[in-house]
């Protein structure tokens, strides 16, 4: 029994180390090139500025504010998160990655890298969103809770889709097309939660949306880990 526990701990430590190695490799490359981060930030900031100035800075309905924020987050994710696997195929490093890391480690490393990218964008976009739109700030704790769950949900779904389309010839368009059916229900839930938050409703009134977001994250990460090895070894 003790030997089995030691083996399990050793395997888990190896998985964590390999996942971190994949994450660190992508992070170092992104720091040098800044291709995905620049694409995400430029799209998000430009879209936010154009739409907010077109609609005006005050008097926007809570539903419109919520839809604006999450549409920007969604399309910003579409513009940059697919690069994690596309870059491996274009540079020819995917074979080396397959030989040196387990599929679970590759998925977790890529997932946390996408999470870093989207979290960075959310940190920059969120204060700009409140400045440009004059959105109400009286329920910020709930807003940040939904934001964290929304970012996790977006990354959990888009990482596996990015792996699926990495070998396709029309990668950018296919990424958005395949992601939208998976993310449509998620976006509707996020918009609904945001509307209630901007309308100053309580935690109990958005508890169903939060429960859905937690379940979505758990199901998508679990399903992605189970399916990723078949996608990755194809």
Q: Where are the domains of the chain?
A: 34-233
Other beta carbons less than 10 A from residue 17's beta carbon: 10
pLDDT at 43: 79
Backbone angles phi, psi at 48, to 5 degrees: -60, -45
More confident residue, 162 or 216: 216
pLDDT at 3: 41
Cβ atoms of 162 and 84 within 8 Å: the answer is: yes
pLDDT at 169: 58
Each residue of 60-79: pLDDT tens digit? Answer: 788 888 988 998 888 888 77
pLDDT at 170: 58
Alpha-carbon distance of 21 to 11, in angstroms, equals 15
More confident residue, 116 or 168: 116
Q: Is a pLDDT exceeding 90 seen at residue 50?
A: no
pTM of the model: 0.85
Burial of 54 (0-12, 13-18, 19+ CB in 10 A): exposed
**Residue 13 binned pLDDT confidence (cut-offs 50, 70, 90):** low
More confident residue, 158 or 95: 158
Tell me what the mean pLDDT of segment 27-49 comes to: 80
Alpha-carbon distance of 99 to 87, in angstroms, equals 17
Q: Is a pLDDT exceeding 70 seen at residue 167?
A: no
- Average pLDDT over all residues of the chain: 82
Residue 199 has which token pair?
């309308």
Alpha-carbon distance of 230 to 164, in angstroms, equals 10
pLDDT at 215: 95
Each residue of 171-213: pLDDT tens digit? Answer: 556 777 778 888 889 999 999 999 999 988 888 899 999 999 9
Each residue of 99-119: pLDDT tens digit? Answer: 777 888 888 988 999 899 889
Q: Is a pLDDT exceeding 60 seen at residue 134?
A: yes
């Amino acid at each position: 029994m003790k030997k089995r526990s030691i083996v399990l701990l050793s395997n888990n430590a190896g998985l964590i180390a390999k996942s971190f190695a994949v994450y660190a490799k992508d992070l170092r490359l992104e720091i040098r090139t800044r291709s995905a981060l620049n694409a995400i930030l430029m799209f998000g900031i430009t879209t936010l500025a154009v739409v907010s100035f077109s609609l005006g800075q005050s008097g926007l309905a809570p539903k419109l504010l919520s839809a604006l924020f999450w549409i920007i987050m969604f399309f910003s994710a579409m513009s940059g998160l697919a690069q994690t696997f596309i870059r491996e195929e274009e540079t020819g490093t995917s074979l080396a990655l397959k030989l040196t890391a387990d599929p679970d480690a590759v998925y977790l490393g890529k997932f946390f890298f996408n999470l870093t990218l989207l979290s960075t964008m959310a940190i920059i976009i969120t204060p700009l969103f409140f400045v440009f739109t004059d959105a109400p700030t009286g329920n910020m704790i709930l807003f940040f809770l939904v934001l964290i769950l929304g970012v996790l949900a977006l990354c959990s779904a888009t990482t596996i889709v990015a792996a699926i389309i990495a070998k396709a010839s029309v990668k950018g368009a296919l990424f958005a097309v395949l992601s939208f059916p998976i993310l449509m229900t998620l976006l509707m839930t996020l918009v609904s939660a945001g509307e209630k938050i901007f309308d100053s409703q309580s935690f109990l009134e958005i508890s169903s949306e939060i429960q859905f977001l937690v379940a979505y994250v758990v199901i998508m990460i679990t399903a992605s880990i189970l399916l990723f090895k078949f996608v990755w070894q194809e």
